[in-house]
């Protein structure tokens, strides 16, 4: 007597679905990489502007760094208190 084994359709359907999702993810991977790179290219100048604006005059001409070592508030106070810049605010 021979026993016939029926294929499990749910298992086959789920593995096929996983394969399609995996392929779709691989197709979009370069697109996501481009978007991430463009995001960094856009945000780095804004971050650099914030870092530079928080430095003293001596630190401006020192070694460049992407990290804020000390926050110099007087640069912002000078802009707020200056009459020329107040006309633009």
pLDDT digits (tens, 9 = 90+) for 18-33: 676 677 777 888 899 9
89 shares a domain with 67 = yes
The tally of domains found in the chain comes to 2
Residue 67 lies in a domain: yes
31 and 59 in a single domain? The answer is no
What's the pLDDT at 2? Answer: 66
In a domain, 3, yes or no: no
Residue where the block lists tokens 């001409």: 61
Output the six-digit token pair for 72. 């110099």
Q: What is the pLDDT of residues 34-84, one digit of tens each?
A: 999 999 999 999 999 999 998 888 888 888 888 888 888 998 998 889 888
Residue 61 placed within a domain: yes
Domain that holds residue 27: 8-43
Q: Is residue 45 within 8 Å of residue 51, measured between CB atoms?
A: no
pLDDT of 1 > 70? The answer is no
What pTM did the predictor assign?
0.59
Q: Are 38 and 62 contained in the same domain?
A: no
């Amino acid at each position: 007597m021979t026993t016939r084994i029926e294929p499990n359709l749910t298992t086959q359907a789920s593995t096929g679905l996983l394969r399609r999702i995996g392929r779709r993810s691989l197709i979009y991977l370069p697109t996501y990489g481009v978007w991430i790179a463009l995001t960094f290219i856009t945000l780095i100048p804004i971050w650099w502007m914030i870092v530079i604006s928080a430095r003293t005059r001596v630190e401006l001409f020192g070694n460049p760094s992407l990290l804020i070592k000390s926050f110099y508030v007087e640069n912002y106070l000078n802009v707020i208190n200056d009459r020329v810049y107040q006309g633009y605010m």
